[in-house]
């Protein structure tokens, strides 16, 4: 949803002669960024004043016109403004004098998006839960139960703290298969389901058992800023390619040759992108093209995307159907009946016996409290559905709250009755 006065935070341009200006504004990219990018990636020197004349008046300098023209097209393609086949569109006349980022039109755009989001929420359902607010274990709680550390801290510092459910193990095996066979895999789940955990377990298993597998991970933190060039740079960094390419075609040729030589030397390669639900559609299409690098039927590189549930909706986009049709999709399931085993492993890391801290009916109460309701829009005609929300993050939150409450009441054990008191607002 748009923030208050968000339209005022955008530089308002009344007109651009060519569409490239509108594309930059809609992506929030500055002309200075373009100038720096084409200098670093295309070895083309141009001032912001010159670029401004091109964008606002279609006035080109007398020298290096072709170099600048090609550099701007490359920037647009590799930063997700247009596809490679539509790069010429950036130089066409802008169809409107006013930007969509100006005033009422900007607000109207977000209003339309709000309607669209509401429609999708009604159609797909809204999950309602009674999960408590997260708490930290208090000093009183640690002293009361004899805990020297927080066994339900969300951060994991060693494999002895890792609980792998059946769904987690299934996902890790599929990741190893993608790495060794060069296939494409998409894994998505709710926040707190253990996506980061399975990625770290995958890295540990690769380092320990599959030294021939080379994991490639983009360094850019904001996945929305990843472009085709970012992926290529990550591959070049992992493969230790130091030769500076003269063009994107030259870069792709170098990557293909080094991947071929590395594969023939017995190495396997896999590109892993976390938080992949933020990837632009154009980048996902580029990933499919990278995956197609092959020698006969032999794929040189596997692709693994890991993200939140929004990925499922993204993968249904007709624009990236070429990728979706070829990628295996996995959903990480909640703990469900494995909740008791998860709690036991966490308490074991703190040298505690679960039977000494929880009664049998506490687990049933926890499962009840970790059940949500999926409510659909009134016009869909669909009845409410029960949704299991027993993901590791939610279990950690519930156990911390239960331990704090038990300590404050002087209860040596967490019972089912005590757990039910943790409901929000109770």
Other CB atoms within 10 A of residue 111 CB: 12
Q: What are the tens digits of pLDDT across the range 254-302?
A: 888 888 888 888 889 999 988 888 888 878 888 888 888 777 777 888 9
Indicate yes or no: pTM above 0.85.
no
Same domain as 397, residue 262: no
- The average pLDDT across 391-406 equals 93
Same domain as 136, residue 184: no
Q: Specify the number of domains making up the chain.
A: 3
- The average pLDDT across 203-227 equals 80
Same domain as 322, residue 256: yes
Same domain as 184, residue 41: no
Q: H-type helices in 17-128, by residue range?
A: 19-27, 31-42, 48-57, 65-78, 103-124
Q: Of 331, 362, 392, which marks where a domain is finished?
A: 331
* Total residues belonging to the chain: 426
Q: Of 91, 115, 141, which marks where a domain is finished?
A: 91
Q: Pick the more confident residue, 374 or 342.
A: 342
Same domain as 388, residue 258: no
Q: Of 331, 354, 380, which marks where a domain is finished?
A: 331
Sign (positive/negative) of CA torsion 390, 139, 354, 342?
A: positive
The pair of structure tokens assigned to 101 is 């980022």
The pair of structure tokens assigned to 342 is 């998860």
pLDDT at residue 316 tops 70: yes
- For residue 401, tell me if it sits in a domain: yes
- For residue 116, tell me if it sits in a domain: no
- For residue 256, tell me if it sits in a domain: yes
Q: What are the tens digits of pLDDT across the range 127-162?
A: 777 777 888 999 999 999 999 888 988 777 777 788
Sign (positive/negative) of CA torsion 372, 331, 235, 326?
A: negative
Q: What are the tens digits of pLDDT across the range 367-389?
A: 999 988 877 777 666 777 888 89
- For residue 110, tell me if it sits in a domain: no
Amino acid 7: pLDDT: 43
- Residue 304 structural domain: 166-331
Q: Is residue 21 helix, strand or coil?
A: helix
Cα 169 from Cα 183, distance rounded (Å): 18
- The average pLDDT across 102-116 equals 56
């Amino acid at each position: 949803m748009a923030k208050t006065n968000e339209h005022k935070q955008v530089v308002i341009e009344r007109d651009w002669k060519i569409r490239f200006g509108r594309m930059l504004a809609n992506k929030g990219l500055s002309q200075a960024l373009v100038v720096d990018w084409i200098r670093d990636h295309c070895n083309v020197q141009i001032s912001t004043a010159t670029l401004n004349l091109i964008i606002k008046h279609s006035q080109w300098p007398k020298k290096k016109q072709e170099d600048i023209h090609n550099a701007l097209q490359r920037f647009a393609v590799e930063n997700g403004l247009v596809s490679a086949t539509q790069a010429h569109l950036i130089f066409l006349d802008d169809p409107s004098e006013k930007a969509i980022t100006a005033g009422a039109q900007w607000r109207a755009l977000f209003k339309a998006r709000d309607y669209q989001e509401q429609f999708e929420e009604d159609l797909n359902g809204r999950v309602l839960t009674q999960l408590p607010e997260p708490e930290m274990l208090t000093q009183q709680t640690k002293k009361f139960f004899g805990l020297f550390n927080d066994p339900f801290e969300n951060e994991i510092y060693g494999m002895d703290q890792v609980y792998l459910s059946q769904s987690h193990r299934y996902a890790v095996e599929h990741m190893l298969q993608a790495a060794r066979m060069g296939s494409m895999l998409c894994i998505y789940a709710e926040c707190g389901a253990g996506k980061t955990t399975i990625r770290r377990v995958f890295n540990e298993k690769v380092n320990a058992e599959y030294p021939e597998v080379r994991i490639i991970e983009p360094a850019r933190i904001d996945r929305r800023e990843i472009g085709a060039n970012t992926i290529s740079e990550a591959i070049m960094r992992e493969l230790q390619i130091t030769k500076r390419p003269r063009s994107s075609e030259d870069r792709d040729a170098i990557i293909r040759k080094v991947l071929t030589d590395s594969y023939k030397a017995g190495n396997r390669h896999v590109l892993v992108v976390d938080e992949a639900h933020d990837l632009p559609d154009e980048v996902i299409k580029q990933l499919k093209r990278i995956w197609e690098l092959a020698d006969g039927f032999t794929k040189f590189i596997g692709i693994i995307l890991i993200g939140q549930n929004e990925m499922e909706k993204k993968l249904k986009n007709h624009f990236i159907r070429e990728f979706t049709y070829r990628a295996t999709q996995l959903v990480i399931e909640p703990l469900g009946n494995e909740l008791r085993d998860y709690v036991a492993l966490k308490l074991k890391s703190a040298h505690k016996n679960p039977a000494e801290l929880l009664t049998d009916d506490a687990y049933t109460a926890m499962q009840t409290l970790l059940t949500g309701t999926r409510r659909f829009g009134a016009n869909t005609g669909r009845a409410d559905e029960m949704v299991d929300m027993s993901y590791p993050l939610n279990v950690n939150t519930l156990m911390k709250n239960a331990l704090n409450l038990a300590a404050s009441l002087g209860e040596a054990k967490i019972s089912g009755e005590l757990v039910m008191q943790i409901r929000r607002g109770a």
